[in-house]
Structure 1
Amino acid sequence: MLQTWRWFGPDDPVTLEHVRQAGATGVVSALHHINQGRAWPEDEVLKRKAVIEQAGLSWDVVESIAVHEDIKTRTGDFRTRIEEYKQSIRAVARGGVKTICYNFMAITDWTRTDLEWRLPNGGYALRFDWTDIAVYDLFVLRRPGAEADHPEARRKAAEARFKSMSESDLDELEKLMIDWLPAREFVYDRAGFQKMLDIYRDIGRDGVQQHLIDFVKEIAPVAAEEGARLCIHPDDPSFPIFGMPRVMSTAEDARTLLGAIPEQANGLTLCTGAFGSNADNDLVAMAEEFGPRIHFAHLRNVTIEPDGSFYEADHLDGHTDMVRVVAALMKEEDRRAAEGRPDAVIPMRPDHGHLLVDDIGKRVNPGYSCIGRLKGLAELRGVMRTVDAFRKQGLN
């Protein structure tokens, strides 16, 4: 597997020199300074590529070209937005970056309720807490119909927690829910967030899923023409929150999209952390079933608690059997190589990492500190070397 590292560009506190020291050879990056929904100029792609290559690395995966809400809802200027998206695909592919990750999550990107949850060892992890979600949903946002989405025990826990929270606590929670992610035309206030939730409620899950299929039917031929591969990232977390429709959360969701557009250009990002947040997902089985269409892998683990809350665990701990997932992906690489596929090697990156050692207190992108990911990549590299050694000896 190709060992890569997510880099947020020149403003990333983790430098390309650090990336090389971590042992990665490839970079996963995006033009984060260009707002969501705007076409990426080819000259900007080439500038970013040159910076990466001057550091002795290669730009192997784009993550992500953001999908505008107009496209997801098929309202407003969605036709123009789709054409701009096609331009971005052409720009990155002609610049030599052939793997393009994207997601179709409604309104927000990945959601966590705590970006620095203290671990027993003194480090910090990202956490999703259902009680905090219910606090915001029931007592801050006051979304119509929210009570039906939360069981009684959670509602009672949320009410007690809400009463204990200060205004600054609630402001921080709201920020985590709606307005902290980069590369957007605007950030939502509470009323704007509710307005978007109402739009998605009216469209419904089946409608959003059809919008996804319609979108990929338009962009996959462009990717194929340019020799590029699209790979959708799952919803994170992979279950509904705030009533938002989820259309890439299960194996059945993946089957639906991959079956609707069977071309190789339409593929999957196997994010073991995002899919793994749904306890019903069998990540080993998914790696085996969807192997031929997996164009990119995010290797991350989560520990799921009895109420469905979770925190991001060490890469080799948690709910997912990471060793078996890696073995399945490496087996798929062998199958592709035997077929003569030019994309036999699957790019992977250590997805997120704990905040550890002297990264604590430094400016970091949440989940993307250096030392935690370096540790995760080293562990995953050890798994890959071990799997390879066992296979060379004819052992499973």
Structure 2
Amino acid sequence: MIEGWRWYGGYDRISLSEIAQTGAVSIVTALHEIPYGQIWPRETIAKTRAQLQGAGFAWTVVESLPVHEAIKRGEGNLTEFFANYRQSMANLAAEGIKVICYNFMPLLDWTRTDLTAPVARGGTCLRFSAAKMAAFELYMVQRPNAEEDYCEQVLAEAKRWFEAATQPDLDRLTQSIMAGLPGAYDRYDPNGLREALLPYEGLDRAALRQNHKRFLEEVVPAAEDLGLKLAVHPDDPPRDLLGLPRIVSDADDINWILSAVESPSNGLTLCSGSLGANPKNDVPAIAERFAGKVHFAHLRNVAKDPDGSFEEAAHLGGDTDMPALLGVLLREDARRRREGRADDEIVFRPDHGHELLTDADRGAHPGYPLIGRMRGLAELRGVIAGLTAAGAVTA
């Protein structure tokens, strides 16, 4: 497995020279400045690749090449959007990219309600509070019928929180929920989000699935021709949100997507944190089932609450058995080497670390601190070394 690191380019407060000191050798990045639906020019890709190579890094995984919202909605004439996506893929392949991570979450990306929840022995983490999300939907966005998506306990807690909240509390909640949107894209206030939801009215699970299938039918053949692997990222959190369906939340969803268009290029980003936030998911078992289609891995851990809330745990803490998961991925890597597919070695990256020590002073992208992720990478590296030394992986 190859140690990677997420980097936000010109938007990142962490430098490539600092990342080099973590030991990571492969940068995972994207052209965040290019609006959704536009072609990624080859010359811009080449410039980024040269910058990374000059700093001593490989760049083989893009995270993410965004899917335009019109494609997710299945709205209008999509010919240009699909053509642009295929051209961007071709330009990336021409510059040595092997894997494209993407997601099919409508409107929002990963979503949290708290960006600086306290950790027991110091530092902070990302947290998703079901009650705060309910308060946001019910009282701030005022989404019709939002109460149907939450249990009585969460609704009561949401009402108590909202009634006690100050304006700074409400502003902080909005900012937290918007923080998952990458790069320089516009964020919404509650009124703006209410308006942004209107084009999605009537989009149910079946329709979103069919729109995803159409996307795969349009781009997977091109990926095969280009020698690229597409890797869908699971929903985060793995539940419907804001009345919008999410369709990459468990093993059945993943199986449907990978079967919708049968191809070695139609694969999975194994995100242990996203999948781990769903109580019914056994993440090592999911990894075992779909190991041959795992093209990229995000390794992090979460601790879940009974009401649907969760927070980012230490990489070796939380509810997912990380050594068991790493064992699955290491065995899959070994199998690929035995089959002469060493170029398919899985790039993984430590995901969503705690803010520790001086991380809080840096102002890095939420969830992507330097010290917290370096700790996570070191822990994962140690488990990998231990499993390998114990003979748990056949090379």
Which SS does the other structure have where 1:383 is aligned? helix
Q: Structure 1, residues 103-124: CA drift from partner, whole Å, max 9, x if none?
A: 0001000000011111111101
Match of 1:80 in 2: 80
Partners of 2:233 and 2:270 within 8 A in 1:
yes
Q: Structure 1, residues 323-373: CA drift from partner, whole Å, max 9, x if none?
A: 000000111111122222244411100011110011122221101110000
TM-score (norm 1): 0.96
Please give the alpha-carbon distance, in whole angstroms, between the structure 2 residues aligned to 1:180 and 1:311: 15
Q: How does 1:112-127 map onto structure 2 within 5 Å?
A: 112-127=112-127
Partners of 1:200 and 1:245 within 8 A in 2:
no
Please give the alpha-carbon distance, in whole angstroms, between the structure 2 residues aligned to 1:393 and 1:373: 25
The 1:56–1:237 alpha-carbon spacing in structure 2 relative to 1, beyond 3 Å, is same
Match of 1:9 in 2: 9
Match of 1:293 in 2: 293
Unaligned runs of 5+ in 2: none
CA RMSD, 1 decimal: 1.6
Match of 1:372 in 2: 372
What is the deviation of 1:190?
3.2
The 1:376–1:293 alpha-carbon spacing in structure 2 relative to 1, beyond 3 Å, is same
Please give the alpha-carbon distance, in whole angstroms, between the structure 2 residues aligned to 1:297 and 1:47: 26
TM-score (norm 2): 0.96
Please give the alpha-carbon distance, in whole angstroms, between the structure 2 residues aligned to 1:74 and 1:23: 43
Unaligned runs of 5+ in 1: none
Match of 1:60 in 2: 60
Partners of 2:134 and 2:154 within 8 A in 1:
yes
Which SS does the other structure have where 1:203 is aligned? coil
Match of 2:281 in 1: 281
Partners of 1:36 and 1:184 within 8 A in 2:
no
Match of 1:22 in 2: 22
Please give the alpha-carbon distance, in whole angstroms, between the structure 2 residues aligned to 1:185 and 1:317: 33
**Same amino acid, percent of matched pairs:** 42
Q: Structure 1, residues 115-154: CA drift from partner, whole Å, max 9, x if none?
A: 1111111101000000100111111111111111111111
State the AA in 2 paired with 1:160: R
Range with greater deviation from structure 2 (274-283 or 71-80): 71-80
Partners of 1:27 and 1:52 within 8 A in 2:
yes
Please give the alpha-carbon distance, in whole angstroms, between the structure 1 residues aligned to 2:180 and 2:203: 25
Match of 2:42 in 1: 42
Please give the alpha-carbon distance, in whole angstroms, between the structure 2 residues aligned to 1:178 and 1:17: 29
State the AA in 2 paired with 1:127: R
Count of residues in Structure 1 that have an aligned counterpart in Structure 2: 394
Range with greater deviation from structure 2 (286-295 or 136-145): 136-145
What is the deviation of 1:186?
4.1
Q: Structure 1, residues 66-120: CA drift from partner, whole Å, max 9, x if none?
A: 1111110011453211211111111111110111100000100000001111111
Q: How does 1:176-215 map onto structure 2 within 5 Å?
A: 176-178=176-178, 181-183=181-183, 186-215=186-215
What is the deviation of 1:55?
0.5
Please give the alpha-carbon distance, in whole angstroms, between the structure 2 residues aligned to 1:387 and 1:133: 40
Q: How does 1:1-396 map onto structure 2 within 5 Å?
A: 1-178=1-178, 181-183=181-183, 186-391=186-391
Partners of 2:331 and 2:393 within 8 A in 1:
no
Range with greater deviation from structure 2 (38-47 or 185-194): 185-194
